[in-house]
Amino acid sequence: LASGFLLATAYAAYRAPALIYFYGVWTIIATLAVMVTRVASLIRNRRLKRKSSLQTAIGVRHARIVQKSQGFMGGSFNTREFFHGATAWMFRSIKWIFLALVFPAPVAMLFAGMIERSPALITAAFVVQYLGLLAERWFFFAQANHPQNLYYQTIS
């Protein structure tokens, strides 16, 4: 919703400058509303108890599971595709990076672009937000605790 409004504002900056303030104000309202819901969902998700575990991934109900071999001489599709390979620092940082790129940075750039009546700055705000949304999707999938993901992360 917010990214669509921001794109509409950028388009209006080039094609219908009189509409910059109309779209810009609604973009800021939508972005702030989405920010509140996204932060609330991150807080909620942090408190959830995980239902998937290594035991549920392989269907064994034992407290201690140890894998001695991955069963392949080389890598496999699953060991390559189900492990993101990011360091713990990167994984912790990406949440703050995407939050900054999706919410405050585009709002500040849009606000400045509205004051300056700068189509380039408003378009740059959209690009920054889009990059933040890509980082958010990466975080979403890398954070997931799918049973197969848990299994292959353990043996990678």
The model's pLDDT over 35-78, given as tens digits with 9 standing for 90+, comes to 999 999 999 988 887 777 777 767 777 778 766 666 556 666 66
More confident position, 8 or 151: 8
Per-residue pLDDT, averaged over 88-108, amounts to: 93
Element holding 113 (H helix, E strand)? helix 104-116
3-state DSSP call for residue 156?
coil
| pLDDT at residue number 83 | 66
Q: How many residues does the chain have?
A: 156
Contact 20, 122 (CB under 8 A): yes
Mean pLDDT of the chain: 85
Per-residue pLDDT, averaged over 137-152, amounts to: 72
- Whether 101 has a pLDDT exceeding 90, the answer reads yes
Per-residue pLDDT, averaged over 77-88, amounts to: 68
pTM: 0.78
| pLDDT at residue number 78 | 63
Alpha carbon distance 38, 133 (integer Å): 12
